[in-house]
Chains A and B, each alone.
Chain A
Amino acid sequence: EAQVTQNPRYLITVTGKKLTVTCSQNMNHEYMSWYRQDPGLGLRQIYYSMNVEVTDKGDVPEGYKVSRKEKRNFPLILESPSPNQTSLYFCASSNDRTGGSYEQYFGPGTRLTVT
């Protein structure tokens, strides 16, 4: 089954404790992206990647890191989480190398709470 998986689905952590949210897709997509969704603000793009070892900042990259060492995986790293990073996070992938014209497939989301 073609899908994007994220882990963990739910996470409660404390300020400053490094964490990683994993994202994996089995569709051989080149374009992958991370979003956060907050009430009233919609989804905002954090980082995206157009291929292995190619990543770039989205609209709200501060406080996040990503890596793309393999085509299928695109982990999101919070080196020192803060309460304002409490949010619902979605990973997405697309078959369009430029990311522009093709459908994005989203993972089920990770609900993160930082206390």
Chain B
Amino acid sequence: RKEVEQDPGPFNVPEGATVAFNCTYSNSASQSFFWYRQDCRKEPKLLMSVYSSGNEDGRFTAQLNRASQYISLLIRDSKLSDSATYLCVVNSNLNKFYFGSGTKLNVKP
């Protein structure tokens, strides 16, 4: 079983739509959680960390559910520039990082 699982998509949405991604992780002892964004053939870049209480950054909201071991990312008012692959990342208690295989988002005019 993979440490981190994501729906690969693609999610095809119109501009202005709200879209949500989920990610599940298998290690209940995981300590830190992140969403990264990766554009085609480029390096991943941090979108946001995910905190237990949930957190928001502009149009992006991240939630963590430790009991069910899943993380979510909500994007409101999607822009064309949001088209990318979104990577769910989990840090285990051994300083190792586990990445999901990514969810591809296509925002269309």
Within the complex, the shortest CB–CB distance from A36 to chain B, in Å, comes to 11
Contacts of A99 in B (CB 8 A): 91, 95, 97
**Given A42-B100, A42-B102, A100-B32, residue A106 in contact with residue B95 (CB < 8 A):** no
B97–A45 contact, CB under 8 A? Answer: yes
Which residue of the partner chain A has the closest CB to B88? A42
Contacts of B96 in A (CB 8 A): 45, 48, 58-59
In Å, the complex CA distance between A106 and B47 comes to: 13
Which residue of the partner chain B has the closest CB to A94? B97
A44–B46 contact, CB under 8 A? Answer: no
Name the one of A41, A58, A100 contacting B91, with C-beta atoms under 8 angstroms. Answer: A100
A43, CB-defined interface residue at 8 Å: yes
In Å, the complex CA distance between A44 and B89 comes to: 11
Contacts of B42 in A (CB 8 A): 108-109
In Å, the complex CA distance between A90 and B97 comes to: 13
In Å, the complex CA distance between A43 and B45 comes to: 13
B99–A109 contact, CB under 8 A? Answer: no
Which residue of the partner chain B has the closest CB to A58? B96
In Å, the complex CA distance between A103 and B34 comes to: 9
Q: Most B CB atoms within 10 A — which of A43, A45, A88?
A: A43
